[in-house]
Amino acid sequence: SLQDQFDNLEKHTQWGIDVLEKYIKFVKERTEIELSYAKQLRNLSKKYQPKKNSKEEEEYRYTSTRAFLATLNEMNDYAGQHEVISENMTSLITSELTRYVQELKQERKSHFHDGRKAQQHIETCWKQLEASKRRFERDCKEADRAQQYFEKMDADINVTKADVEKARQQAQLRHQMAEDSKAEYSSTLQKFNSEQHEHYYTHIPNIFQKIQEMEERRIVRIGESMKTFAEVDRQVIPIIGKCLDEITKAAESVDHKNDSQMVIEAFKSGFEPPGDIEFEDFTQPMKRTVSESSLSNSRGDGKSEPKFGGKSKGKLWPFIKKNKLMSLLTSPHQPPPPPPASASPSAVPNGPQSPKQQKEPLSHRFNEFMTSKPKIHCFRSLKRGGAGPEDFSNLPPEQRRKKLQQKVDELNRDIQKELDQRDALTKMKDVYIKNPQMGDAASVDHRLSELAQNIEKLRLEVQKFEGWLAEVEGRLPARNEQQRRQSGMYEPQNPSAVNSCAQDRESPDGSYTEEQSQETEMKVPATDFDDEFDDEEPLPTIGTCKALYTFEGQNEGTISVAEGEMLYVIEEDKGDGWTRIRRNEDEEGYVPTSYVEVYLDKNAK
């Protein structure tokens, strides 16, 4: 029936609106994903950006790190394009479809209201026709009964003439009423047929046509929205492509040779590698002293013998700290003695075992020093407070030259600032002189005098640092001892200490050398020698140990211990069977590892 068709159409159009709302929800969630993705990309880019005024900024001078920084910036722009996708989808799809759905609902409601109204109208017409038809049928039956009654009365001779006349009149009245009902029924029938034709051939088709057009517009609209969905993405593809092209361009700009050269320039020290180690002939009966060590300059019979490739001055190795150097010169040169026969090392609980393979201590120390992290110390120029010297003499030559050049450039920039201020104040003073009403010219004299003093101080500083820079670059001779005393960097205690340790420790090119002298000059009192290295911190303790046996410590570099004595461990066994310990600040040395029980501190560095 027609009502069933209306129900079917109502259900289908409601389903179409539900589909449209589902698509709107889908696009809305897509925009939220795009915004969230863009936010995460921006946070990621921000997270890996170098922090201002930090060491990371210095790292971005290399081409590889600059390419990474460019990648971060492009990722930020890449995130911006995803924000554009979200904005366009919201404005072109979500907002438009939401408004269209509201209009669609109103239009659908109107169409079905008209349909229901037309249906009600035809039903009303049908009811009127049925009522007219029943009335006509009733009147016809009443007319027939009246006619039969009249005929009966007319045939009965016992009925008066008046009764017969009355029955005749009643029959005529009923016939007239039947004729009127017939005419009314005929008119109502014609009207209903006309209304019904109009309903089924005009009103209902028009309503169905409008509903069909509405549904087709909905289908077209959702298709256009899907096309817009793709176009919004396609519009940002060229810009995203440019971002990716820039990342590729940044990656292609990475220059490994340039980065390697920058590392070389940044960390080159200017030191020359050490010369060959001389052969030590143990077949000759001779007494070896500290001065005859392969790492120190040889001296004998008052004549200085050139070391390290025949140079007059040997470079002091920059990798060797004072504590390690002195321990090397004084460490034992023979394998440690076995523990007393009364108790083997295996009987001692947790006792360390003697090394299976005996290594020559000197070569082992040499490998240790060459693989350790370089830490350069200029004992002559270190100050008591732990801060670096003003002339950067604690740095390797090349690093010192760079620092001095940076300091000179910085001072020149400060001088230029002061000069700019002086020029500005001078112009202001001229204006005040020409126009006294604008200000007092004498008010700027004090500031001008301060600027002049500052400029003079800065120029003196520049001269001082340029002198040190020229000294490093070899343009000027090295400073003599008198100049060093005037600079306040170092003041020797006595001539022997100067000659033996500190004198000429720095060459004209800024490298560290040790003056070759005679053997007698090495025999300096311990107080003088220790004063030279007063600023060097002792090695930290890494644990404690307990002496299992008594050890005499007669060889040079060893220390005597008593059984049961507790001492501090400052250096583990390196594989040569010796452990370095300390009793107090002045007493330290080596003992056989098998003679002590070591308790290392887990938190020690």
In a domain, 216, yes or no: yes
Is the confidence at residue 184, as pLDDT, over 80? yes
Is the same domain home to 34 and 175?
Answer: yes
Q: Please name the residue ranges forming H helices in 90-160.
A: 95-155
In a domain, 394, yes or no: no
- Confidence (pLDDT) at 353: 39
Is the same domain home to 78 and 181?
Answer: yes
In a domain, 214, yes or no: yes
CB atoms within 10 A of CB 333: 14
Residue with more model confidence, 557 or 499: 557
> Closest Cα partner for 326 from 515, 594, 590, 510?
590
- We report the CATH number of the domain holding residue 582 as 2.30.30.40
Is the same domain home to 20 and 101?
Answer: yes
- We report the CATH number of the domain holding residue 93 as 1.20.1270.60
Q: Of 474, 493, 520, which marks where a domain is finished?
A: 474
- Confidence (pLDDT) at 387: 57
| Domain membership of residue 60 as a residue range | 5-248
pLDDT tens digit sequence for 202-234: 999 999 999 999 999 999 999 999 999 999 999
Is the same domain home to 107 and 223?
Answer: yes
- Confidence (pLDDT) at 313: 38
Is the same domain home to 239 and 132?
Answer: yes
Give the angle subtended at the CA of 397 by the CAs of 395 and 398, to the nearest 5°.
105
In a domain, 363, yes or no: no
Amino acid at 254: V
Residues with Cβ within 8 Å of residue 259, at least 6 apart in sequence:
62, 63, 64
Q: Tokens at residue 139, please? A: 């009147």
Is the same domain home to 194 and 87?
Answer: yes
DSSP string, 515-584: ----GGGG---HHHHHHHTTTSPPPPP-EEEEESS-B---STTB--B-TT-EEEEEE---SSSEEEEESS
The number of folded domains in the chain is 3
In a domain, 390, yes or no: no
Is the same domain home to 89 and 198?
Answer: yes
Mean pLDDT of the chain: 76
* Edge-first strand listing for the sheet containing 596-600: 588-592, 578-582, 566-571, 543-547, 596-600
**How far apart, in whole angstroms, are the C-alpha atoms of residue 310 and residue 275?**
9
pLDDT tens digit sequence for 484-523: 334 433 333 333 333 333 333 333 344 444 334 333 333 3
pLDDT tens digit sequence for 412-443: 999 999 899 889 888 888 888 888 887 787 88
DSSP-derived secondary structure letter, 160: -
Is the same domain home to 243 and 133?
Answer: yes
Is the same domain home to 200 and 69?
Answer: yes
Is the confidence at residue 97, as pLDDT, over 60? yes
Q: Of 215, 248, 281, which marks where a domain is finished?
A: 248
In a domain, 213, yes or no: yes
In a domain, 300, yes or no: no
Residue with more model confidence, 318 or 178: 178
- pLDDT, average across residues 572-582: 87
What pTM did the predictor assign?
Answer: 0.48
In a domain, 517, yes or no: no
Instruction: Identify the three-state secondary structure at position 372.
Output: coil
Is the confidence at residue 159, as pLDDT, over 90? no
pLDDT tens digit sequence for 63-79: 998 999 999 999 999 99
pLDDT tens digit sequence for 328-372: 444 465 666 766 654 433 333 344 433 333 444 444 444 444 444
Is the same domain home to 125 and 227?
Answer: yes
By CB neighbour count within 10 A (0-12 exposed, 13-18 middle, 19+ buried), where does 603 fall?
exposed
Is the same domain home to 24 and 144?
Answer: yes
Is the same domain home to 453 and 551?
Answer: no
- Confidence (pLDDT) at 31: 96
Q: Of 227, 248, 269, which marks where a domain is finished?
A: 248
Kind plus residue range of the DSSP H or E element containing 242: helix 204-252
Is the confidence at residue 526, as pLDDT, over 60? no
- pLDDT, average across residues 139-166: 87
